[in-house]
C-alpha cells in the first residue's frame, strides 16, 4: 500500500474482533470502538453482548428443513476448523444431533428430514473437496455425517447423528481473540458509545462517540459496522437508499445451570425441534447451557424498515429484565429434565436475555446474510450465526482491499497476498498454562459464570475430544 489507512471498526463482538484482526494483519491501522467498558486492564471488553453465550460451532445439521441454511453453516464450519485452534472447543467432543421420536409420532418425519440433511451436508462437503483438496479436513465425504446409536442417558430419541458440529467455549474463544487483537496491533477503545457515522466530501468517514461523558470525533479512511442489532440502523442512517433485507429480531432467554449429579457427557445434545426439542450443552462436568424453545423464545418482531431500530419492548426487557424470566426458566428445567437426567435438580446459575437476528421470522432458516456494501469504504456485517464469522470477516477484508485498490492506495497484484496474510489461522498461546489462568478475567468481563473458565480438558493437556480426522469422527 502507498500509505497506511486508518480503519474504524464499530462493535467488539466476534464479527468486529475478526474484522479488526484481519484488516490489521493486511496492513491497515485499526481502531475498534466498543460500547462496553473494560473491567480489567488485562482483558479487552470484547464479546460482552451477543457473543458471550455462544455454545456451538454449527455445521448445518440443526437446519434439516432448509438445505441452503445447512450449506451456509457447513461452509462456515469448514473455514472455522482451519482458522481456530482446537482450544476453542474446551475439550468438547462433536455434538449429537437428535431427532425426537415424539415429533416423529406426531406426524412430522423429522428422522427422514435429518437423514436427507445429512446427504445435503455430505454433497456440499464433496463439492468443496473437489474444488480444493485442502478442504478435506473431515476425511472422506461419505463419512463426514453418520447415524449413531442413541446417546446414553437421553430420552425420546428417534435417531441420532454425529456431524462436524462441535461445541465451543465462548470464554476460551474470547481470550484467543484478545490475544490476537494484541498480536496484530489493533487499538481497542472500550467505553466508546458510537452516536453517529457520516461520510465526508473527501470520501473519508467521521465517527462520533461518547467516552467518559465527553463527545469525541475521529476521522478514518474506512469504516466497518459490526454492532450486532445496532448495525442495520447505523447503515440505514448512513445510506437511506441502501437495499437492506427484511430484518427480524427475536428475544430469547438462555440459561446456565449447575448440575447436582454432574455429567459424563463432554458433548452437546441438540434435540430437534420446537416443543419436542431442547439443547443440553455442558461446559464442564458441573455446568451446562440449556435451551428449551417454548420457554426461550419470548417474542419476534420484524423491525421498522425505515429505521431498523431495536424494538422498544426489547430495549425495555434488556434493561429491566423480563417479568416471566423465573417461570420460563422453571418450564425449561422441567421439560429438559424429562430428556436429560443430569438436568433433574439443576439450579439456574444465570439467565441471559439475548436478541437473535434473522432475515425471516422462521427459526428453521438461517442463511448467511453476507457483508453489505453500505457506501464506498463502509461495510456492514449482520452475523446471523456464529459459525459464519470467519467467512464473513474474510469477505469484509476483501471489500476493504477492493476499496483501497479503487482509490489508488493499493495495487491489484497485492490483493491475493494481503487476503492470505489477513486470514492466517490463529496460533495457540505460547504459554498456555499462564493463558488459561487468565480465563476467569474474561468470564467476568463477559458477564457469564466464572465456572465456564474451567472447561473439560485443561488447556495445556492434549485434546481428548475428537480429532479432525474422520476415523475419530466415525468412531463416536
Mean pLDDT, 10 residues at a time, over the chain (476 residues)?
A: 96 98 99 94 92 92 96 97 94 95 98 98 98 95 93 96 94 96 98 97 98 97 97 95 93 97 94 96 95 97 92 96 98 98 97 95 92 98 94 98 98 97 96 89 94 70 35 40
Q: What is the pTM of this model?
A: 0.94
The DSSP code sequence of 281-347 is EEEETTEEEEE-HHHHEEEEEEPPTTT-PPPHHHHHHHHH--TTHHHHHHHHHHHHHHH-GGGTT-E
CA distance 339 to 272: 12
3-class SS letters over 6-52:
EEEEECCCHHHHHHHHHHHHCCCEEEEECCCCCCECCECCCCCCHHH
Q: Which of 252, 244, 249, 250 lies closest to 369, judged by CA?
A: 244
Can you name the residues that pair with 207 across neighbouring β-strands?
Answer: 197, 218
Q: Closest by alpha carbon to 195, among 249, 241, 238, 228?
A: 238
Phi, psi of 269 (to 5 degrees): -105, 115
Output b/e per residue, 226-254; b: 16+ Cβ within 10 A. Answer: bbbbbbbbbbbebbeebebeebbbbbbbb
- CA distances 186 to 26, 47, 62, 108, 222, Å, are 12, 16, 35, 50, 15
Q: CA-based Rg of the chain, rounded to a whole angstrom?
A: 22
Q: Give the ranges where 311-467 is alpha helix by DSSP (H).
A: 312-320, 325-339, 389-406, 415-422, 432-437, 439-446
Cβ-defined contacts of 122-127 (< 8 Å, 24+): 124/60, 124/70, 124/71, 124/74, 124/75, 125/74, 125/78
The reported pLDDT for the residue numbered 380 is 98
Non-local (6+) Cβ contacts of 373 within 8 A are: 379, 399
Would you state the pLDDT for residue 273?
92
pLDDT the model gives residue 457:
57
CA distance 193 to 214: 10
**Which one-letter DSSP state was computed for residue 419?**
H
Q: How far apart are CA 446 and CA 372, in angstroms?
A: 28
- Give one DSSP letter per residue of 70-107, joined into a string: HHHHHHHHHHHHHHS-GGGGTT--EEEEEEEHHHHHTT
DSSP H or E segment with residue 357: strand 347-358
Report residue 39: phi and psi, to 5°.
-95, -10
The dihedral over CA atoms of 393, 399, 403, 408, expressed in degrees to the nearest 10, equals 80
Among the CATH numbers 1.50.40.10, 3.40.50.720, 3.40.630.10, 3.50.50.60, which is that of 6-475? Answer: 3.50.50.60
What pLDDT shows up at residue 476? 46
Report the alpha-carbon distance of residue 27 to residue 6 in Å, rounded: 10
**DSSP summary character for residue 276:** G
Task: Domain ranges for the chain, please list them.
Answer: 6-475
Note if the bond before 355 is cis, omega within 30 degrees: no
Amino acid at each position: 500500500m502507498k500509505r497506511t489507512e486508518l480503519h474504524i471498526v464499530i462493535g467488539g463482538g466476534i464479527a468486529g474482533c475478526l474484522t479488526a484482526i484481519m484488516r490489521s494483519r493486511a496492513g491497515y491501522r485499526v481502531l475498534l470502538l466498543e460500547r462496553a467498558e473494560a473491567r480489567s486492564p488485562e482483558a479487552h471488553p470484547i464479546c460482552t453482548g451477543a457473543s458471550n453465550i455462544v455454545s456451538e460451532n454449527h455445521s448445518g445439521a440443526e437446519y434439516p428443513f432448509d438445505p441452503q441454511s445447512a450449506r451456509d453453516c457447513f461452509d462456515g464450519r469448514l473455514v472455522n476448523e482451519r482458522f481456530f485452534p482446537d482450544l476453542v472447543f474446551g475439550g468438547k467432543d462433536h455434538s449429537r444431533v437428535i431427532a425426537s421420536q415424539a415429533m416423529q409420532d406426531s406426524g412430522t418425519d423429522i428422522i427422514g428430514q435429518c437423514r436427507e440433511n445429512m446427504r445435503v451436508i455430505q454433497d456440499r462437503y464433496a463439492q468443496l473437496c473437489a474444488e480444493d483438496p485442502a478442504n478435506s479436513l473431515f476425511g472422506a465425504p461419505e463419512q463426514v455425517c453418520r447415524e449413531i446409536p442413541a446417546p446414553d442417558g437421553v430420552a425420546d430419541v428417534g435417531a441420532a447423528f454425529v456431524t462436524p458440529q462441535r461445541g465451543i467455549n465462548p470464554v476460551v474463544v474470547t481470550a484467543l481473540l484478545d490475544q490476537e487483537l494484541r498480536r496484530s496491533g489493533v487499538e481497542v477503545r472500550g467505553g466508546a458509545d458510537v452516536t453517529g457515522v457520516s461520510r465526508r466530501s473527501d470520501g473519508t468517514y467521521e465517527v462520533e462517540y461518547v467516552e467518559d461523558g465527553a463527545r469525541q470525533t475521529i476521522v478514518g479512511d474506512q469504516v466497518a459496522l459490526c454492532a450486532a442489532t445496532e448495525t442495520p440502523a447505523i447503515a440505514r442512517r448512513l445510506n437511506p437508499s441502501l437495499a437492506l433485507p427484511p430484518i427480524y429480531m427475536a428475544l430469547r432467554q438462555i440459561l446456565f445451570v449447575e448440575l447436582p449429579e454432574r455429567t459424563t457427557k463432554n458433548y452437546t445434545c441438540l434435540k430437534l425441534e420446537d416443543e419436542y426439542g431442547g439443547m443440553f450443552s455442558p461446559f464442564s462436568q458441573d455446568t451446562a447451557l440449556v435451551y428449551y424453545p417454548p420457554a426461550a423464545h419470548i417474542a419476534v418482531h420484524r423491525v421498522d424498515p425505515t429505521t431498523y431500530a431495536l424494538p422498544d419492548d426489547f430495549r425495555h426487557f434488556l434493561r429491566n429484565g423480563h417479568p416471566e424470566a423465573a417461570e420460563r426458566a422453571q418450564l425449561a428445567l422441567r421439560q429438559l429434565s424429562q430428556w436429560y437426567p443430569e438436568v433433574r435438580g439443576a439450579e439456574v446459575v444465570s439467565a441471559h436475555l439475548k436478541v437473535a437476528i434473522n432475515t425471516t421470522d422462521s427459526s428453521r432458516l438461517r442463511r448467511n446474510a453476507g457483508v453489505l456494501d453500505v457506501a464506498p469504504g463502509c461495510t456492514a456485517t449482520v452475523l446471523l450465526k456464529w459459525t459464519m464469522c470467519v467467512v464473513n470477516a474474510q469477505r469484509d477484508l476483501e471489500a476493504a482491499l477492493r476499496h483501497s485498490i479503487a482509490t489508488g492506495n493499493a495495487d491489484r497484484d497485492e490483493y491475493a497476498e494481503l487476503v492470505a496474510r489477513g486470514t492466517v489461522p490463529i496460533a495457540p498461546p505460547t504459554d498456555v498454562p499462564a493463558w488459561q489462568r487468565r480465563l476467569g478475567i474474561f468470564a467476568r468481563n463477559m458477564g457469564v459464570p466464572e465456572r465456564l473458565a474451567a472447561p473439560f480438558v485443561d488447556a495445556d493437556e492434549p485434546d481428548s475430544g475428537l480429532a479432525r480426522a474422520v476415523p475419530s469422527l466415525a468412531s463416536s
